Amino acid sequence: MTRAVISTIGKDRPGIVNAIAEIVNDLNLSIEDSRMTVLGGEFAVLMSVAGGTLPLQRLETRLGKLAEKLDLAFLFRRTAVRENVEGRVPYTVSVTAMDHPGIVHRVASFFSSQNINIYNLDTVTERAPHTGTPIFSLVMEVEVPPEIRIVELRDSFFYFCDDHDLDGELRPS
């Protein structure tokens, strides 16, 4: 089975998901994973599709034409099954703070410096109910290598959050 990842982004409007899913279905391909969201006024799709080599080639062509028609930015990339992450322990990281530049960079840098892979990341900024203060929230999933001691990682993350005025939590997924 061959796999590809597709990415599209364009002005948010009804019918984008249907148009993409219809083409995938017509070619008898399978959507394995996907993330779709509105960011600003733009609708973004990130999708992993699997099936035969020829249908995937046709998918690339047909989605390219659809992207032109709907004025979407479009990227198509062949890929393989994700390599085994044996021994790595999944953890969920949550961070909340008054919004300010650099939060994602600092948190990502903390985990990257310890060779901890981030494999999913979501952020949102909302207004506090009474004050209207922008509150930033981050939730990510990481893979902790087996050689890292979780107790030390938790302590280190706690001090990191304290040093950067972040409210953070690290828990098993």
Token duo for residue 59: 């998918």
Domain boundaries, the chain: 2-79, 89-172
How far apart are alpha carbons 118 and 141 in whole angstroms?
6
The reply to whether domains 2-79 and 89-172 share a CATH topology is: yes
Pick the CATH number of 2-79 from 3.40.50.1000, 3.30.499.10, 1.10.3720.10, 3.30.70.260: 3.30.70.260
pLDDT digits (tens, 9 = 90+) for 4-41: 999 999 999 999 999 999 999 999 999 999 999 999 99
The fold of the 89-172 domain, in CATH, is Alpha-Beta Plaits (3.30.70)
- Say what the pTM is: 0.85
How far apart are alpha carbons 136 and 93 in whole angstroms?
14
pLDDT digits (tens, 9 = 90+) for 44-77: 999 999 999 999 999 999 999 999 999 999 999 9
